[in-house]
Amino acid sequence: MIDAQIQQTELLKKDIQSGIDKVNTAIAYGTALKSSADNLKAELLKANQRKIELKSNRSGYAAMLSYFIDQTIGETTILIKPSPQIISSTINRPELKLFDFQKRTFEVQNKLIKAKNLPRLNLFLQGGLGRPALNMLSNDVNLYYLAGLRLNWNLAGLYTYKNEKQILSLNQKGLDIQKEIFLFNTNVILHQQNSEVSKMQELIETDNSIIALRESIKNKTKVQLENGTATSTDYLIDVNAQDQAAQNLILHQIQFLMTQYNYQITSGNK
């Protein structure tokens, strides 16, 4: 924004210098007073002061930016204005992924609750060498084996099963409510920010119309100044009015980009 303001100040200086040249011509022909030129020269010095202040501010911000990004930002460093963003209404915030992961956790817990309360059926095989073996009446050494099915059921878990399911259900509902509140709040903010984006678009369109009108008025006054039908004060009023309109456009253009990027950040698309 400061770079754009410096450029606009240069345009302002050119307008004032153009007025000085025309007044000097009028003075040479005896149709204007020297005080008219002095008035414009004083305004030119004020424009130079503005440029000094802007360059000083830029230097300070450049030094801060250098620390943030760990790169050298000098007076000759050209900063590229960010491109306008394509606004997306889709919410892709990382918090939504967290809600999904938590929901999957509850699903796993639900499966564990069911699994630990199911009866377990096991197949077993046991063998050995014994004297006696399975025949207790025989004194011979024989091999033996046992095979079968074993059913285990921990009935104690059935007493807590209902409570565990209720607690898990409440936690799931609480998570759903948190997600709904988050989406609601995010959509409210996005609605506000979208209104700001639309407002900035309208302001920029109005700025362009104002600048066109102010420039037309300034050019007419410049001709009148040359012909001696307008004073240097009249010319400076019109020049400063156009400059103010241009400064407003610069500010609104930057604010427009900021509102777009803020919207994209809020929606999680940046």
pLDDT bin (cut points 50, 70, 90) of residue 167 is: confident
**Contact (CB, 8 A) for 23 and 36:** yes
* Angstrom distance (rounded) from CA 10 to CA 125: 96
* 75-102 pLDDT tens trace: 888 888 888 888 888 999 999 999 999 9
* Angstrom distance (rounded) from CA 233 to CA 243: 15
* Contacts for 123-126: CB closer than 8 Å, 24+ residues apart: 123/147, 123/148, 123/149, 123/150, 124/148, 124/149, 124/150
Mean pLDDT of the chain: 87
* Angstrom distance (rounded) from CA 175 to CA 96: 11
pTM of the model: 0.74
- The first and second tokens of residue 97, run together, are 């992924």
Quote the pLDDT of residue 246. Answer: 96
* 185-242 pLDDT tens trace: 999 999 999 999 999 999 999 999 999 999 999 999 998 888 888 889 999 999 999 9
CA angle 102, 182, 266 (to 5 degrees): 110
The answer, yes or no, to whether residue 176 has pLDDT greater than 60, is yes
Q: Which amino acid is at 15?
A: D
Q: Which domains does the chain have, with CATH numbers?
A: 2-90+181-267 (1.20.1600.10), 118-153 (no CATH)
Quote the pLDDT of residue 256. Answer: 95
* 44-80 pLDDT tens trace: 999 999 999 999 999 999 999 999 999 998 888 888 8
